[in-house]
Amino acid sequence: MDIFRIEGPIGLSGSVCVSGSKNASLPIMAATILAAGKSSLKAIPHLSDISVCSELLGRLGCKLTRGPDGDMCIDATVIDNPVGEYEIVRRMRASICILGPLLARCGRAEVSMPGGCAIGDRPVNLHVKGLQALGAQIHLKNGYIIAEAPNGLKGKDIFMGGPFGSTVLGTANVLMAATLAKGRTVIESAACEPEIADLANCLNEMGARITGIGSPRLIIEGVEQLRPARFTVIPDRIEAGTFMVAAAITSSELRLRNCRLDDMMAVVDTLRNIGVTVDADGDGCVVSRQGPIRPVDITTQPYPGFPTDLQAQFMALLSLAEGNSVVIEKIFPDRSMHVAELNRMAANLRKEGPTVIVAGVKKLIAAPVMASDLRASAALVLAGLAAEGTTIIDRVYHIDRGYERIEEKLNPVGAKITRENV
């Protein structure tokens, strides 16, 4: 198992390139199931979640090859085993996003019911509700969701909102299924995340007829068939946000290439309130901080609000603010495994339900800490860059799920992170 050894505190300077988006790539890879033939995708990041998704598609019958950089070819000519096995789904719950496209393509799908994970229960009731509205018969058997639509799917008006707002992968599943349904589907309270807009743009490039992209009302006119995709995925706004915090927490200046500030307005606004300068520059931006870290209050929300996937990283930053901040997690109220670990590094965080009160401290002090989930681990890396001494992070595989060799991106700009296999 790999660990990180991080020496701090360090300063950063130079330029870092942001990879293609993990959370856009996963549903777009699943979308290739919808069309028989060879899809060609670009900017697919090299991550363990992408490898798991590749294995998942391979078991269905697809043939995958990776080219240079982020190129990926998926040949979905034959889908002869429409089953998402427990053994894969338990490793990556985003595997659920094959349910909609498999059902639309094959008239039947069996996908293991994803369990909870370190960030909470993570139900899929809205995915099921949406697909049922399109005419699918769905039942649960031996831990598997069995979805059937022997006579095809039929367009419908569907309200997809839930107790925590919209659902990203639920929207993806119903959107993909609706592209091949007979007639018109309206998804109201659809997720507006840029990753869903990217998926919709990819589907349109494949011949789908989707309007309202980026809005909470998606309108889909079903088509007979789709053609294979040729598509480049958007840059990863969460990786970009993590690098922005890296610059801010180390009081440094970093240039980010391949970064769409347009997708990150809530994040950039929060950084500016904290006292961080973010200026657009070419295909990216320059991020720097000179003055003190000012405390701010953050509430996570569906897009365009502040993303839950950057909550932990900002908590690491606010740990060093001159004053008290309040961070409220409204999407995954239990997403707080990093709180205890950051406190081991001398942060002063107090959790009250979904709220964490962050009392700023003068410095963080290195400690051995445990990565618990992807974004919590990223927060520990960031804290390690600023902390005094050697931080050791165990269970680095969590980071590798969503960050492309983070140490190889941060070391050339001044970080001192070594990966060790123990």
Minimum gap (Å) between residue 121 Cβ and ligand EPU: 6
List, in order, residues 6 or more apart from 142 with CB less than 8 Å away.
none
Nearer to ligand EPU, 293 or 331 (CB): 331
Q: Give the gyration radius of the chain's Cα atoms.
A: 21
Q: Which residues bind ligand EPU (CB under 6 A)?
A: 23, 26, 94, 122-127, 162-164, 167-170, 195, 308-309, 331-332, 374-375, 402
Nearer to ligand EPU, 169 or 180 (CB): 169
Minimum gap (Å) between residue 23 Cβ and ligand EPU: 3
CA dihedral 122, 125, 131, 133 (to 10 degrees): -150
Tokens read off for 37 = 């033939």
Tokens read off for 304 = 């365009």
Taking the C-alpha atoms of residue 214 and residue 207, their distance in angstroms, rounded to an integer, is 18
Distance of CA 182 to the CA centre of its chain: 31
Taking the C-alpha atoms of residue 309 and residue 297, their distance in angstroms, rounded to an integer, is 16
Tokens read off for 213 = 């992209």
Question: Which one-letter DSSP state was computed for residue 114?
Answer: P
Minimum gap (Å) between residue 313 Cβ and ligand EPU: 11
Catalytic residue among 53, 62, 97, 117: 117
Which of 28, 20, 330 is CA-nearest to residue 172? Answer: 28
Q: In what order do the strands lie in the sheet with 298-299?
A: 298-299, 324-328, 355-359, 348-352
Could you tell me the CA-to-CA distances from 132 to 137, 150, 370 in Å, in that order? Answer: 6, 13, 41
> Is 97 labeled as catalytic in the residue annotation?
no
Nearer to ligand EPU, 295 or 302 (CB): 302
Minimum gap (Å) between residue 94 Cβ and ligand EPU: 4
Nearer to ligand EPU, 150 or 163 (CB): 163
Minimum gap (Å) between residue 369 Cβ and ligand EPU: 18
Minimum gap (Å) between residue 50 Cβ and ligand EPU: 11
Nearer to ligand EPU, 107 or 120 (CB): 120
Whether a cis peptide bond, with omega within 30° of 0, leads into 304 is yes
Q: In what order do the strands lie in the sheet with 217-221?
A: 157-159, 184-188, 217-221, 209-211
Determine contact, residues 360/318, Cβ cutoff 8 Å: yes
Nearer to ligand EPU, 68 or 163 (CB): 163
Q: Is 135 helix (H, G, I), strand (E, B) or coil?
A: coil
Active-site residues, by number, are 117
